[in-house]
Amino acid sequence: MLEQDLAPLLVRSRLTAACDEWFAAHAGDEPGIAVVGIGGYGRGDLTPGSDLDVLLLHDGSRRDVKEVADRLWYPIWDAGVSLDHSVRTVEEAATVAREDLKAVLGMLDARHVAGDAALTSRMRELVLTTWRRDARRRLSDVEVAVRDRLDRNGELAFLLEPDLKECHGGLRDVHAMTAAAAAWVVDAPGERVRAAEARLLDVRVALHRRGNRPSDRLVLQEQSPVADALGYDDADALMRDVYDAARTIAFASDATWRRVEAALRPPRRVRAGLFRSASPTRRPLADDVVEQDGEVVLARDADPAHDPGLVLRVAAAAAQADLPIAPHTLERLADQAPPLPQPWPAPILGDFIALLGSGAALVPVVEALDQVGIFGRLLPEWAQVRCKPQRNAVHRYTVDRHLTQAAAEAAALTRRVSRPDLLLLGALLHDIGKGYPGDHTDAGVEVVPGIAARMGLPLHDVDVLVTLVRHHLLLPDTATRRDLDDPATVALVAAAVTDRSTLDLLHALTEADALATGPAAWGEWKARLVAELVARTAAVLAGEPPPEPELLDERQVSLADAGELAVDVDGTRVTVVAPDRPGLLWRWAGVLSLHRLAIRAATAASVGRMAVTVFDVAPRFGSLPDWALVRADVRRAYDDALPLSTALAERERAYARGHVDLVPARVLWMDEASASATVVEVRAHDRIGLLYRLTRVLADARLDVRSARMTTLGAEVVDAFYVVGDDGAPVTDPDRRQQVEVALLQACSQGV
């Protein structure tokens, strides 16, 4: 039994040694038989949850092979150890290695454990000879498997709950690189990769110790215990180390397979009927920067030690040409390039902007610079956000990769603004404050002026950049949480941006930021609201009067004039018209939730004695509902014939996920957000029927909801309600607010 406080490396070595000793005792040195460890056992990488991969070799002369195998396998099974076993002659093993990719990859790590060592040596020689002979075909298969794993499992470095083995940047990538090296096509993984592999193996050991059914997926609830077991300060420190290791492995893997492709590529034909080496073609890309064999390298007379701008010329040229920087060029630049002068000369800043403006090609170039430590020298503040996890299901990337991706997304939007350079810099730096204590926006506002001054930006540009960082959440938060028809909403934005050029920059930055965040952060609905807010703000900045609110269109007014209960559907906009009575909003919210509709926005208006409520909705699961059934339930709800509380409780139980709120709900009162109403904002974990419960609380408190905006961010919601009291005025009484707040918080924490 292993002690729980053993270091992970010692755990692996003792597990391997214990298995070796057991096989040596039970197989001995019998002639004609050999026990061979393959896969993780062959590498000596056993963890508490590993399968034991064993090959029993024999020379074909012994008739008792089955009895020997049973004598070995049954005690292992009885001990509850997962065993992957096979029994073969040397020739059979070699045949399987030629035909089965998974099998040969395991055999490449074969290690003699017990019995006749000559059998193991002969098998290894046959397998390796065949592997090297068939390298072109077999390595192509391995590369396909590497890419398939990436498609299935994603990038280890950017997942909230990564698989340490199967993700790109995981342990299997190291095994694949080692297999390529065994074919004598590329060099074996270097020290940095081996150190990264050891870090992931340490985490794997700690993770396997935690579970009865060990898994290689580092799920959220296991990250803190694993961090404690390995001596990290917290889960974030653990994940930064895991992500850093994964990026090292992924970068080396990508470079390895480029090298494999180049090595196995047929030589150029230089004369009919002849194949021979030819001098590589070198195509100029920039001063002292050329392309050679599909990579960016330095010109022969380049002098990195005396040319501080060469690093960014290489980076910009590589990104603009969408080519990788050759590894030896990266190493030379890392070793010899001097610090950049401060402030940066205009050509150096220009190359940096060209790098940022290269779109998707920016990402691998920044990653290459980062892997050799160059990008951190260009931007020292990068160290604070490098590999920093974002514990938010909406974000798909670490902070540093999010910033790089935002700049890549912004490159496609540069034609929409008058200062594309400031857009690109704003995208790269808008979340740089997440690497510092406190509110990330406040921290960014403190840090960015120093960065901008170091880059040589004039004072006016520094001010604009700081404005972009300070207000990078202004447009989406305002558009989705505030009533655009309220003049105070547009006035707030106009006061923040002050001019049209900055407004356009902020609009483009908003889109780039959202696209770089993840699919849930941007869509047609949010884009339309933000564009509407920008258009209204631009009109105010131009001195035009704000447009009069158009709450209802002709169709909706016509329905109200008819004086009957009706439900009108136009795409994802639902209008419910009914004779006015208390509590209509919570009734309609309950019906829509019952039919699996998420409500994004709601407005209420009166036409005579008729109440008109307009909802923007989206399906929670799959397609839109049967509207005939919705209409029927609206009628039943109006007549109090539909038991909404009971029906929603059943619906919520059907989709319950067993979630426990890690952060309590919060209620905020926004007096400055409107001149004619009070905005009460509820931030909570999303649940089916939540809006129904919240609006019912407001109705029971005799508050009239004039309009509402609902924002869903992953599993969280921010719901803002414009409310007035019985007298039609904003709600200012502290005691009344306190009572409403308590009831809203209870509604967030209770089931229907």
The domain limits of the chain are 8-133, 136-264, 306-541, 559-749
Flag whether pLDDT at 464 surpasses 90: yes
Report the chain's terminal Cα–Cα distance, integer Å: 49
C-beta separation of 719 from 692 below 8 A: no
What would the pLDDT profile of 344-380 be if each residue is shown by its tens digit? 999 999 999 999 999 999 999 999 999 999 999 999 9
Which tens digits make up the pLDDT trace of 285-302? 999 999 998 999 999 999
How does pLDDT run across 306-318, given as a tens digit for each residue? 999 999 999 999 9
- Check residue 550 and give its pLDDT: 65
Residue 263: the pLDDT is 85
CA–CA gap between residue 123 and residue 498 (Å, rounded): 76
pLDDT, residue 656, reads 52
Residue 548's pLDDT band (boundaries 50, 70, 90)?
low
Q: Taking 60 as the threshold, does the pLDDT of residue 429 lie above it? A: yes
* 378-388 mean pLDDT: 96
Q: Which CATH class is domain 136-264?
A: mainly alpha
Q: Which of 77-91, 262-276, 545-559 has the highest mean pLDDT?
A: 77-91
34 secondary structure, DSSP code: E
Q: How far apart are CA 682 and CA 705, in angstroms?
A: 14
Residue 3: per-residue pLDDT: 45
Residue 197 has pLDDT above 90, yes or no: yes
CA atoms of 363 and 410, how far apart (whole Å): 13
Angle at 36 between CA 30 and CA 37, to 5 degrees: 145
Q: Give the right CATH number for 306-541 from 3.30.1380, 3.30.450, 1.20.1690, 1.10.3090.
A: 1.10.3090
- pLDDT value of position 663: 73
Give, to the nearest 10 degrees, the angle between helix 500-517 and helix 399-411.
120
Structure tokens at 398: 């670490």
Instruction: Please check the confidence at residue 659 and state whether its pLDDT lies above 60.
Output: no
Peptide bond into 343 cis (omega under 30): yes
- Cβ(282)–Cβ(292) below 8 Å: yes
Is 422 within 8 Å of 465 (Cβ atoms)?
A: yes
Average pLDDT of the chain is: 90
pLDDT (tens digit per residue) in 28-52? 777 899 999 999 999 999 998 888 9
Task: Give the single-character DSSP code of 434.
Answer: G
* % pLDDT > 70, the chain: 95
pLDDT at site 274: 42
pLDDT band at 750 (very low <50, low <70, confident <90, very high): confident
> pLDDT category, 275, cuts 50, 70, 90?
very low
pLDDT (mean) for 307-332: 96
Say what the pLDDT of residue 655 is: 60
Could you tell me which residues are beta bridge partners of residue 722? 679, 707
pLDDT at 114: 94
User: What does each C-alpha distance from 556 to 396, 569, 580, 608 come to in angstroms?
Assistant: 41, 11, 15, 13
User: Between the CA atoms of 271, 273, 278 and 284, what dihedral angle is there, to the nearest 10 degrees?
Assistant: 50
**Residue 524 zone, left/alpha/beta (φ > 0; ψ -120 to 50; rest):** alpha
Decide if pLDDT at 668 tops 60: yes
Q: What are the pLDDT digits (tens) for 483-499?
A: 888 889 999 999 999 99
pLDDT of residue 520: 78
- Residue 5 pLDDT exceeds 90: no
Give the CB-side neighbour count of residue 453, counting CA atoms within 13 A: 6
pLDDT tier at 2, thresholds 50, 70, 90: very low
How many whole angstroms separate alpha carbon 611 and alpha carbon 613? 6
Residue 684 DSSP label: E
Is the pLDDT assigned to residue 620 strictly greater than 90?
no
Distance CA 365, CA 355 (A): 9
3-state secondary structure 514-546: HHHHCHHHCCHHHHHHHHHHHHHHHHHHCCCCC
Q: Which is it for the CA torsion 534, 538, 541, 546, positive or negative?
A: negative
For the entire predicted model, the pTM comes to 0.81
Q: What is residue 367's predicted lDDT score, i.e. its pLDDT?
A: 96
Tokens of 77: 């099974």
Res 546: pLDDT: 66
Predicted local distance difference test score (pLDDT) of residue 62: 83
Question: Taking the mean position of all CA atoms in its chain, how far away is CA 621?
Answer: 22
Contact 366, 375 (CB under 8 A): yes
Strands (E), 608-665: 610-619
Range 411-421 average pLDDT:
93
Residue 752 has pLDDT above 80, yes or no: no
Mean per-residue pLDDT for 424-442?
96
Closest C-alpha among 474, 473, 484, 476 to residue 708: 484
Query: CA–CA separation, 114 vs 88, rounded Å?
Result: 15
| pLDDT > 90 fraction of the chain, expressed in percent and rounded | 73
Asked if pLDDT for residue 269 goes beyond 80, the answer is: no
Question: In this predicted model, what pLDDT tens digit does every residue of 172-196 receive, in sequence order?
Answer: 999 999 999 999 999 999 999 999 9
Reduce the DSSP state of residue 228 to 3 states and report it: helix
Domain 8-133 = CATH 3.30.460: yes
pLDDT, residue 534, reads: 96
Between CA 72 and CA 457 the distance in angstroms is: 72
pLDDT in tens, 495-505: 999 999 999 99
Least confident of 88-97, 254-263, 544-553, 626-635: 544-553
Q: What is the dihedral of CA 568, 569, 574, 578, to 10 degrees?
A: 10
Give Dmax over CA atoms of the chain in angstroms: 101
What digits encode the pLDDT tens for the residues 112-135? 999 999 999 999 999 999 999 999
